[in-house]
Structure 1
């Protein structure tokens, strides 16, 4: 076997455990730290926080803020793959977080982020507001119209030393599936309804992985930070580097029911809602 093949081989799966970690605050803390480290070279954050020192500190506070305002208190599910490290401690080597439905943000202190990087924080806020207006806010309407559950696949992250070994490809769908099952057990999701999982990809490197995990690309948008402007570029796929948000992919995966039929309905309703 070639060396490159060996380096990309999935580690011993029997030593890994996929667990629902939604109720474990310590796991959330570890997962937030994992995401903050994993997203250091993510294009949107490199763009908004070019200084790597500021970016490292900012991301930790930013993801913690996101957790506190939108994901905590049972609003999202967390599933993690755990494995013992060299010191005998069980650690998260991969984690997936899905938000159940979509609700309003709760208040949280923004001061620490502003103090770290005020300009970068404002850029992130503009991008978050654009995503809320153009994508997330439409989901409750679509869920009601199609009579489905909708979950948002928020974060997927892999421990640095396990990247490139097929961990995320292997576990993304199982992690989402156990989060879905746990959501139905808790009565948050209606188990009698199909469930649509969607994600927003704002970094080209993540697109291939999500497609391998079974997601379908639905729309490709450019954003100029003008709330009244949205440009669908499904046909040309051109990237204007002068725009504030170079690429957003709305993707979708469905649990239960007839996948192609429901995905097509989702596309049509999203497009209809986008032009109201």
Structure 2
């Protein structure tokens, strides 16, 4: 990819999993999700939301991604011999539930009411789709791989970079996940799925060929005049049509908060 002023190369590559790459990606996440519908719902005050996201992504690394439980692909640029991370996509395989619970008091200290809304949403996720996706994977003897985030730094948004690299990034993550499972002696097909809660990310997911399995109504607006929020569940097209249809059947009836 080239800019109009200087030559600028851009590519996506698999991270070796070092903490520095994760922390750089989380900095982008904090900015990218500042105006995300979920976090606006849980923490309406923008200053409090900024503080919450900083602590939240700090906690995610040991709770979800550390020690090989997460896999990261980075979008990088090189301009005048300077390499910069401008985007990332990540997936996770397991979560440290005990460690996650230890962090809960930190979130409550930032915004007690906001943390209650966040927990309520987490419960809704478990009841509405997380449990169903794991049930589906068990039925077909597959291994769940959850797409945690796809992000582009503010400076590079709106330039088609997500469309250019999103699908390749997911494939890099899935290939890495397969290799890790093989090393563990696990012979299972992967079931990659991701969730988006913004029409723009839904449009991108469709554009890169992901298969939409469900549209779920989520947060009840506190003001009835506000737009109702939705989440959309997407599956990777490497799954056979019968698996995708089985997933869609599990979501014939959506649930609300």
TM normalised by structure 1 equals: 0.78
User: Per the alignment, in what secondary structure is the counterpart of residue 118 of structure 2?
Assistant: helix
Query: Is the CA contact (8 Å cut-off) linking 1:143 and 1:150 kept in structure 2?
Result: yes
Match of 2:88 among 90, 95, 106: 95
1:1-276 matched pairs, under 5 angstroms:
11=2, 15-84=9-78, 88-100=81-93, 103=95, 105-107=97-99, 108-187=102-181, 193-223=188-218, 242=224, 246-255=229-238, 259-268=240-249, 270-271=250-251
Structure 2 contact 214–251 (Cα < 8 Å) conserved: no
Equivalent residue, structure 2, for 1:232: none
Shift in Å at residue 160 of structure 1? 0.7
Distance change >3 Å, CA 187–CA 139, structure 1 → 2: same
Task: Give the Cα separation in 2 of the matches to 1:17 and 1:170.
Answer: 10
Separation (CA, whole Å) in 1 of partners of 2:97 and 2:253 = 22
Instruction: For residue 112 of structure 1, report the CA deviation from its aligned partner.
Output: 3.0
C-alpha distance 85-194 of structure 1, shift in aligned 2 (>3 A): same
Asked if 2 retains the 8 angstrom alpha-carbon contact of 1:240 and 1:246, the reply is: no
Alpha-carbon displacement from aligned partner over 1:45-94 (angstroms, at most 9, x marks no partner): 122222222211211211222333223222221111111356x5422111
Structure 1: 5+ residue runs without aligned partners? 1-9, 226-238
| CA pair 23-204 structure 1, distance change in 2 beyond 3 A | same
The Cα shift of 1:147 comes to 2.5
Q: 1:187 to 1:273 in 2, by over 3 A?
A: farther
How far the C-alpha of 1:212 sits from its partner, in A, is: 0.9
Contact 2:69 2:92 in 1 (8 A): yes
Deviation at 1:133, TM superposition (A): 2.3
Rounded to whole Å, the distance in 2 between the matches of 1:85 and 1:14 is 5
Q: TM-score, structure 2 length as denominator?
A: 0.83
Indicate how the Cα distance of structure 1 residues 122 and 170 shifts in structure 2: closer, same or farther if over 3 A, else same.
Answer: same
> How has the CA–CA distance of structure 1 residues 150 and 34 changed in structure 2, closer, same or farther, with 3 Å as cutoff?
same
Which stretches in structure 2 are left out of the alignment for 5+ residues? none
CA contact (8 A) 1:197 1:253 kept: yes
- Distance of aligned partners of 1:149 and 1:245 in 2 relative to their CA distance in 1, 3 Å threshold: farther
